[in-house]
Amino acid sequence: MNASPPGMANWRHWLFVKVHTDKGIYGVGECWGWPRVVETAIHDLKPLVTGEDPCHVERLWQRMFAAVMGHGMTGVVGSGAMTGIEMALWDIKGKALDTPVWNLLGGKMRDRVRLYGHAFDMERARQLVARGFTGLKLFGWKDCVPRVEALRDAFGPDIDLMVDAGGGPWQTPSDAIALGKRLEPFSLLFYEDPVSSLDIEAVSRVSDAVNIPIAMGESHPGVYSLAPLIERGIIDVAQPDTGRFGGLLQMKKLAAIAEAHSVMMAPHDGSLGPVAEMAAVHMVATIPNFLIQEHLACDVPQRYEVMSGQPVIEEGHIVVPDSPGLGVDIDEEVIARHPPKGHDMPVDEDASEYDFQYVAAHGKRARWLEGSGKEWR
């Protein structure tokens, strides 16, 4: 089932999964990515878990993984589908044992999980800080330096700032390094996706040249894909997406690899719904090398209406829930009131847009690098 976040592009929908057992217990999960395609993949995987004991999470995951291999691996589509099913299995197991998922994953390192929000503009940044948020992230290269400067001037050193460069293929290592050098004096918490995550050598060049922690991982499926960036010392912060990385156990394994290489974990929450967000809270509650978690503080009004078991968010932190399983359930009646608005990829009305992306990265370089950031003052 889908719930469309109207604040997002029409082709981005939430996709929830429900796994039922013959004992009357059911589990909920959520997957993100390409919703209609992932939904199809879930239906294809269903026979592999039907009739099986849901407690054997690893075994069932490996069974699905082996089946996906038969399709030549399927990136975040396959891992997204497995993510939703695996998440629901943890929920079932927690409910069956009357214990929260964090207890099954090793127990708590912390009672609250630190969040960061998106500073879309200065007003939004002020609202987040007033609510107690101590982490703010900016997106995009345009006017990046003056925007960071304005936030640092406004809030001082006690607010952590992050920059997400978006990882477009038009971003060259040279440009990413130039921008990174300009950002160094602002002591960012991290510099995310400075170049395309598909080009590991380009990321490596930026990482070597820029003295800011490099963050990456939102597009990676599973431990195999992200481990090389960690093991080679290219990234400092791993950002697996809780809705499509492959499942909570995959994230836990990645956290262990990261721990052994002095890398921190900061799960991605680009447009995840509330179930995956809560699943992330359970996972990061159990790991020592947790840094901060992304939080969509203002996407759609129905964000938490579609579920019961409301999150407690206080002083920029989300409280780790103590109820069994994931501690949340979906409300299918509310979800039905927010049907998907469409699945088509957005048509670019301006045919030159893609040319523009490339040109903008290389033309008028001084303008985008220097910027004015007037509206941020």
Residue ranges that bind Mg ion, judged by CB under 5 A: 164
Residues in Cβ contact with 52 at an 8 Å cutoff, skipping those fewer than 6 apart: 60
Burial 312-345, CB ≥16 within 10 A → b, else e: ebeebbbebbeebbbbbbbeeeebeebebbebee
Helix, strand or coil for residue 132?
Answer: coil
Contact 254, 227 (CB under 8 A): yes
Closest contact distance (angstroms) between CB of 243 and Mg ion is 13
Closest contact distance (angstroms) between CB of 280 and Mg ion is 15
Listing DSSP states for 191-258 in one string gives EE-SS-TT-HHHHHHHHHH--S-EEE-TT--HHHHHHHHHHTT--SEE--BTTTSS-HHHHHHHHHHH
| Separation CA 204–CA 8 (nearest Å) | 32
* Among the listed residues 296, 306, 300, the one whose alpha carbon sits nearest the alpha carbon of residue 336: 306
Which tokens go with 318? Answer: 């989300």
Cβ-based nearer residue to Mg ion, 64 or 148: 148
Closest contact distance (angstroms) between CB of 193 and Mg ion is 5
Which tokens go with 53? Answer: 């004991």
Cβ-based nearer residue to Mg ion, 7 or 132: 7
Residue with tokens 């013959």, as numbered in its chain: 22
Cβ-based nearer residue to Mg ion, 39 or 175: 175
Cβ-based nearer residue to Mg ion, 11 or 139: 139
Helix (H) or strand (E) holding 352: none
- How many CA atoms are closer than 13 Å to the CA of 213, on its beta-carbon side? 19
Cβ-based nearer residue to Mg ion, 219 or 286: 219
Closest contact distance (angstroms) between CB of 164 and Mg ion is 4
| Separation CA 300–CA 375 (nearest Å) | 25
Closest contact distance (angstroms) between CB of 218 and Mg ion is 5
Closest contact distance (angstroms) between CB of 115 and Mg ion is 15
Cβ-based nearer residue to Mg ion, 86 or 164: 164
Cβ-based nearer residue to Mg ion, 164 or 329: 164
Q: For the chain, count helices (H), then strands (E).
A: 14, 15
Closest contact distance (angstroms) between CB of 122 and Mg ion is 21
Closest contact distance (angstroms) between CB of 64 and Mg ion is 27
Helix, strand or coil for residue 190?
Answer: strand
| Separation CA 79–CA 287 (nearest Å) | 22
Residue with tokens 């217990």, as numbered in its chain: 25
Cβ-based nearer residue to Mg ion, 95 or 137: 137
| Separation CA 15–CA 30 (nearest Å) | 6
Cβ-based nearer residue to Mg ion, 239 or 289: 239
> Nearest residue by C-beta to Mg ion?
164
Closest contact distance (angstroms) between CB of 79 and Mg ion is 17
Cβ-based nearer residue to Mg ion, 164 or 236: 164
Closest contact distance (angstroms) between CB of 69 and Mg ion is 28
